[in-house]
Amino acid sequence: MKRLIDIYCRLLSGLMALLLAMMVVLVFGNVVLRYGFNSGIAFSEEVSRWLFVWLTFMGAVVALHSNSHMSLGEVVSALSPKAQRICHLIALALMLWVTWLILEGSWKQTVINLSNAAPVTGWSQAWFYGVGGVFGISSGVILLMDVWDSLRNFNNPLVPPTSLTAE
């Protein structure tokens, strides 16, 4: 399962690069048209905003998977190994709760906005709100796997993520 999530996050990273490139082209092209030719593409603003939202949520999933999110490593490292594991499990439980809130809210907004069209593109607004569902499911799976690993290795000390250790 970890290997599948690794592959999934690599695919997300590639998709994020593609979306960022599209966003740069749309925004740069719009700026050139506005200042150079006194015109613009209304489509560009709306699509760029949607791409930015998708980029943010996909980046959050990749950051969660690679343990690049914020933590209080200095505080937790001062605790005993068992207390570290308990704090870690409490943090995971809180993250799962927030993930559930995002998933539930996103689902409700997606259903509400299914028939609402975006002002410029005419696309369903469900695409805008649906990214919360992608985030909720993806991060929920990652967090549940982390909970499972933490419970399975409860008596072992936590190893700090490599991206957060001081050198």
Higher pLDDT, 54 or 43: 54
The total number of structural domains in the chain stands at 1
Residue 163 has pLDDT above 50, yes or no: no
Which has more confidence, 156 or 111?
Answer: 111
In a domain, 166, yes or no: no
**Tokens 């919360």 — which residue?**
132
Handedness of CA 11, 103, 123, 46 (dihedral sign): negative
Which has the minimum average pLDDT: 83-92, 146-155, 157-166? 157-166
- pLDDT confidence of residue 109: 93
Distance, CA of 138 to CA of 123 (rounded, Å): 24
Residue 89 lies in a domain: yes
| Structure confidence at residue 159 as a pLDDT band (50, 70, 90) | low
Distances (CA, A) of 92 to 89, 139, 161: 5, 11, 15
Do 154 and 85 contact (CB within 8 A), yes or no?
A: yes
Residue 48, in any domain of the structure: yes
Looking from the CA of 5 toward its CB, the CA atoms found within 13 Å total: 18
Q: Is 54 inside any structural domain?
A: yes
Alpha-carbon torsion, ordered 43, 49, 54, 56, to 10 deg: 160
pTM above 0.95, yes or no: no
User: CA 94, CA 109: separation in Å to the nearest integer?
Assistant: 23
Structural domain range at position 68: 2-161
Residue 167 resides in a domain: no
| Higher pLDDT pick, 80 / 125 | 125
pLDDT tens-digit map of 128-145: 999 999 999 999 999 999
Q: How many CB atoms lie within 10 A of CB 163?
A: 10
